[in-house]
């Protein structure tokens, strides 16, 4: 099973229901898309994240009604530095979609999805705790794993793995 190169051309990905749905309904929200190793990723404009997720959830061609995971990746030192990664899932179509938003290093902040999935709350708290990304509209944004008086966000790439802080 040799690896196929990733497809990033939107023209070639138009057939995919998620890309097709976003292109037809909210073309301004879709920044990029990638199909790699049988997994589809779409990059969404951070300000339109909630709208786009709602569209993907409610549209009959996509039906991504279930949120599986929220996490983040730090691409230090490049800019935009952070990527918040949402893994959404469709029970009906048995398909996953990865939705990403890119955030700058100065005050990374994105709208919370707890209004759509109440269960996202601890996941977002974990991202806040370990990556230092704020979620606007989150009901209780506190540290969750680390002590409350902890300094810094350990999963950031500029946080040392060993030695004294």
Partner 1 sequence: MPAIDYFRAMPVVETVDGDRTMVLNMGPQHPSTHGVLRLLLEIDGETVVRIRPDIGFLHTGIEKTCEAKFYQQVVPMTDRIDYLCPMTNNFAYVLAVEKLLGLEIPPRAMWIRLMLNELTRINSHLVWLGTHAMDIGAMTVFLYCFREREEILKMFEMVAGQRMMTSYFRVGGISMDLPLGFLDYLKNFIAYFPGRIEQYSDLLTKNPIWLGRTKGVAFISKEDARELMLTGPTARGSGVDWDLRRDMPYGGYENLEFKVPVATEGDVFARYEIRVEELRQSTSMVKQAIANLPDGPVKAEAPKVVLPDREKMKTQMESLIHHFKIVTEGFTVPEGEVYMGVESPRGEMGYYVVSDGTAKPYRVHMRSPSFGNLNATGVMCERNLLADVVAAVGSIDIVLGDVDR
From the list 24-32, 42-50, 84-92, 101-109, the region that binds partner 1 by CB under 8 A is 84-92
3 belongs to the binding site for partner 1 (CB under 8 A): yes
Q: Which residue in 16, 120, 124, 128 binds partner 1 (CB under 8 A)?
A: 120
Beta carbon of residue 37, minimum distance to partner 1 (angstroms, whole number) = 6
- Using CB atoms within 10 Å of the CB of residue 147, give its burial: 0 to 12 exposed, 13 to 18 middle, 19+ buried: exposed
Cβ-based nearer residue to partner 1, 19 or 41? 41
Is-contact 32 19, C-beta < 8 A? no
Nearest to 156 by CA among 71, 79, 70, 76: 76
Query: Binder to partner 1 among 19, 44, 55, 67 (CB under 8 A)?
Result: 67
- Phi/psi at 45 (5° precision): -60, 125
- The residue from 11, 15, 107, 149 that contacts partner 1 (CB under 8 A) is 149
DSSP string, 67-131: EEEEEEEE-TTSSS-EEEEEEEEETTTTEEEEEEEEE-SSS-EEE-STTT-TTHHHHHHHHHHHH
Least distance in Å: CB of 129 to partner 1? 8
Residues at the contact surface with partner 1, assessed by CB under 8 A: 1-3, 6, 36-39, 41, 65-69, 71, 73-74, 85, 87, 91, 94, 96, 98, 117-123, 126, 130, 142-149, 154-155, 159, 161
């Amino acid at each position: 099973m040799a690896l196929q190169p990733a497809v990033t051309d939107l023209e070639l990905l138009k057939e995919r229901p998620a890309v097709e749905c976003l292109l037809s309904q909210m073309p301004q929200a879709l920044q990029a898309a990638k199909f790699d190793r049988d997994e589809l990723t779409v990059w969404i404009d951070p300000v339109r994240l909630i709208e786009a997720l709602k569209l993907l959830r409610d549209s009959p061609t996509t039906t991504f009604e279930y949120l599986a995971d929220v996490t983040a990746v730090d691409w230090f030192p490049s800019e935009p530095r952070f990527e918040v990664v949402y893994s959404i899932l469709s029970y009906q179509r048995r398909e996953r979609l990865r939705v990403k938003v890119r955030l700058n290093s100065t005050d990374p902040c994105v709208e919370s999805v707890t209004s759509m999935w109440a269960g996202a709350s601890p996941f977002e708290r974990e991202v806040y705790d370990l990556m230092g990304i704020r979620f606007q509209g989150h009901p209780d944004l506190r540290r969750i794993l680390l002590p409350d008086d902890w300094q810094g966000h350990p999963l950031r790439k500029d946080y040392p793995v060993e030695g004294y802080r």
